[in-house]
Amino acid sequence: MLESLTSSLTGLFVHPGFILPGVALIAAPIIIHFINRLRFRRVKWAAMEFLLASQQRNRRRLLLEQLLLLLLRILAVAALAVLVARPLIDPQRFSQLLGQKTHHLVLLDDSGSMRDRTGETAAFETGLDVLRKLVAEGERRPDSQTLTLLLLSNPSQPIFTQENLNRDFVTRLEGTLKGLRCSHRALDLVAGVEAARKLLAEMTGAARNFHLISDFRRQDWEDNSALPAALRELDLDKVLINLIQTVPEAHPNLGITDLTGTVDVAAVNVPLRLKASIRNYGEQVVRDVRLTILIDGQKQPSSESIDKIEPGRERAIEFDVKFASTGPHNVEVQLPADALDQDNSRYLSLQIAESNPVLVIYGGNDENEALYLIDALGAVPEKTGFSPTRDRIDSLRRQPLEKFKSIFLLNVSELPPDAIKALEEYVRGGGGLAWFLGPQVRAAFYNDKLAGEVPGLFPARLGGIAELFLDESNPAPDFSVTDHPVLEVFQDDRDVLLSYTKVNRYFSVAKDWTVPDGVRVIATLRNKAPLMLEHRLGKGRIITCLTACGDLSWNNWPRIPDAFVPVQLQLATYLAEGRRTLQQRTVGEPLTISLAASAYAPQVEIRPPDGNRVLLTAGIKTPTDAVPAVQTPAGLEYEESFRNTDQPGDYALVLKRAEGGEEVRHYAYNVADAESRLQLATSDSIRRRLGPEVNAQIQEFGNLLWVHAEDTSHEIHDYVLLLLLVVLLGEQALALRLSYHPRPAGGSA
């Protein structure tokens, strides 16, 4: 019992063992008082009458004085005992005695960078350990503290709200923490702090503590002034701020920042050139970076490598992949494991077509004028993936154009209105259009029906056919090019191609025509006249070449296959990309499904990368003021949003067609590169950003002493010493007043 008594005093005194003897010593003045009462001398007294009268008159006062003196002596002994025991005062404990609790709000950063591993332990797991220790310490004083736990990925929905820290909660917490996973997303710390601040404002208690368990990356603290400002607001609210670091040092990190390619023209058995960009986020050069390629989960026998990447720099690797079948496929590229794994993989989902149909419309009488182009595009379909079709203008009206990846119009004199309309719809929907002029072109028609103040299908008003004469004095090539993917072949050091490529005839633009907004000149003749133009219409791209394609009297391009073929292939590819089927999706973005009610059933199945299939039933899309009712040709649409896209990888969406059968669409989700930068903000820089007036504790990695010493008690021996002094002086003064001091010899009465 004595031990339990002493232990209960532990929080109140540095040396609680002195208290019990001290309490025993308090009896000393009482005992001495009674002993004095028993020790007296006897005097036979005659004038009792007056003595009794005095005693009667002063009985109460005497009693009070005696008691006061006794009390002062007891207090002096008690103060001495307390002084020796070194008392502590803990405002929190005092408040707890009044029924007030200490609130802990923990904001746990579960952004992608918290997957950074030190050894085998991720920063997120370190954060969970800190949380466990904090709860364990609070459980030692059951029901005196509460915990609110927020995850940065969802700060508006706390996992726990003002839960009392006791044994029962410790058990529940452990079960919950086992199921927690760190997200892959880039998250906003400011939003988390704001949410915490709102919750803390509702808490009344002895003390409110805000614990931010995070990895304190430089980009969060030094490049962002909103976060220190948000914490300053917390400090003004008198919340104790505790910043807990979960990472000991910045780790080197390589990450794949991009995986892209001309997926829109991917065709079966046709090599598809892909490009992977790799960035070195570390401080040291990294050499011999190996990239592993997986197609549909199968590791390819060969890997790619980069000899070195300087710190802070990005390098790209291009490689070709080939798909043996049509349909959906996915490509994954991987780097070797390092501290942060989530950016070591990148995914690409693509639909492989049998081939890429291209429509070539020729306006001249000679169908061979299209042959050069047809040959360039489709001579080796297994290499190019294009299957060009030659046809007349009429076909623009007769068939749906959406199936074509791009449409080339060669030497077309005029277009009927419905063809114009079909072309406009096609381009606006994402289709690509290439104009090549020729002798059949009627400038007046183009100027009147195709070009306009605002560029429509045709970007410029034409003048007339012009000749580019040879200039002996100017040895420059007939035309110069800008940095454009279509003209990539001319941008190498192979000026020889430019020097060989000749232009004799071209269509000039109208004299008063100036390049309008939205139109770009991508190639220019020697005489400064524009040769090639690019502009957009809706989602689609239009490239206009003011010379002919396939008419050797206009230019000799077909005779320079090294230039002609790559340009046409690039052109066909560039135009096909207008559809932008390659969508870069970031983890966390909802997967929005919109389906025509007439074509699909509302039941959809989602197959995320983790393998757990999710069945959803899409609802009818209701129109709002912002979003008017979408009227498909058949009427209504189904709409659904799937939000659980934290895991990077391939998400397959399986749809049921109304007429039967399934359709599968694939979406690749990748992590954002914001979480790949692992440089840490130092404690000093954090303090500087917070400012000197903010009282925030910053706990370095591994320091857990604060968990145990989070009590706010402090010694008050100065006050006790002062009290003892006052009591002793008071006791002496009262004793003197009560004349308990012996008179000096010879003193008068």
Which chain residues interact with another protein by CB under 8 A?
36-37, 39-55, 57-58, 62, 65, 738-740, 742-743, 749
Q: How far is the CB of 51 from another protein (least distance, A)?
A: 5
Minimal CA–CA distance to 347: which of 295, 298, 406?
295
Q: CB-based contacts of 598: which residues, under 8 Å, 6+ apart?
A: 632, 633, 634, 635, 636, 658
Token duo for residue 167: 């044994």
Of 73 and 535, nearer to another protein (C-beta) is 73
Q: How far is the CB of 34 from another protein (least distance, A)?
A: 11
Q: How far is the CB of 83 from another protein (least distance, A)?
A: 30
Strand 314-321 to 272-280 pairing:
antiparallel
Q: How far is the CB of 28 from another protein (least distance, A)?
A: 18
Q: How far is the CB of 29 from another protein (least distance, A)?
A: 15
For the beta carbon of residue 179, count every other beta carbon within 10 angstroms: 6
Q: Measure the CA–CA gap between 587 and 346, rounded to whole angstroms.
A: 12
Of 1 and 38, nearer to another protein (C-beta) is 38
Q: Measure the CA–CA gap between 41 and 397, rounded to whole angstroms.
A: 138
Q: How far is the CB of 74 from another protein (least distance, A)?
A: 19
Q: Measure the CA–CA gap between 249 and 53, rounded to whole angstroms.
A: 88
Q: How far is the CB of 49 from another protein (least distance, A)?
A: 7
Q: Measure the CA–CA gap between 331 and 273, rounded to whole angstroms.
A: 12
Helix axes 561-576, 371-378, angle to 10 degrees: 70
Of 99 and 744, nearer to another protein (C-beta) is 744
Token duo for residue 566: 């790559």
Of 52 and 380, nearer to another protein (C-beta) is 52
Q: How far is the CB of 56 from another protein (least distance, A)?
A: 9
Q: How far is the CB of 54 from another protein (least distance, A)?
A: 3
Residue type, 377: L
Of 284 and 739, nearer to another protein (C-beta) is 739
Of 37 and 178, nearer to another protein (C-beta) is 37
Token duo for residue 547: 């010379």
Of 15 and 59, nearer to another protein (C-beta) is 59
Local structure of 455: helix, strand or coil? coil
Of 27 and 51, nearer to another protein (C-beta) is 51
Q: How far is the CB of 748 from another protein (least distance, A)?
A: 8
Half-sphere exposure of 714 (CA within 13 A, CB side): 4
Of 36 and 603, nearer to another protein (C-beta) is 36
Q: Measure the CA–CA gap between 104 and 203, rounded to whole angstroms.
A: 10
Q: How far is the CB of 733 from another protein (least distance, A)?
A: 15
Q: Measure the CA–CA gap between 197 and 231, rounded to whole angstroms.
A: 9
Of 31 and 620, nearer to another protein (C-beta) is 31
Q: What letter does residue 647 receive in the DSSP assignment?
A: S
Q: How far is the CB of 747 from another protein (least distance, A)?
A: 9
Of 616 and 734, nearer to another protein (C-beta) is 734
Minimal CA–CA distance to 79: which of 127, 23, 123, 31?
23
Q: CB-based contacts of 640: which residues, under 8 Å, 6+ apart?
A: 592, 593, 604, 616, 617, 618, 619
Minimal CA–CA distance to 14: which of 88, 113, 92, 91?
88
Strand partners, 680: 217
Q: CB-based contacts of 646: which residues, under 8 Å, 6+ apart?
A: 153, 183, 184, 185, 587, 588
* 17-41: burial string, b at 16+ Cβ within 10 Å, e else: ebbeebeeebeebeeeeeeeeeeee
Of 42 and 511, nearer to another protein (C-beta) is 42
Local structure of 703: helix, strand or coil? coil
Q: Measure the CA–CA gap between 444 and 446, rounded to whole angstroms.
A: 5
Q: How far is the CB of 237 from another protein (least distance, A)?
A: 59
Q: How far is the CB of 22 from another protein (least distance, A)?
A: 28
Minimal CA–CA distance to 83: which of 1, 25, 33?
25
Of 54 and 499, nearer to another protein (C-beta) is 54
Q: How far is the CB of 15 from another protein (least distance, A)?
A: 38
Of 634 and 738, nearer to another protein (C-beta) is 738
Q: What is the CA radius of gyration of the chain?
A: 43
CA distances from 744 to 733, 738, 740, 747, 749 (A): 17, 16, 12, 6, 11
Residue type, 74: I
Of 163 and 731, nearer to another protein (C-beta) is 731
Of 63 and 630, nearer to another protein (C-beta) is 63
Helix axes 226-236, 683-690, angle to 10 degrees: 70
Q: How far is the CB of 146 from another protein (least distance, A)?
A: 57
Token duo for residue 743: 């008179």
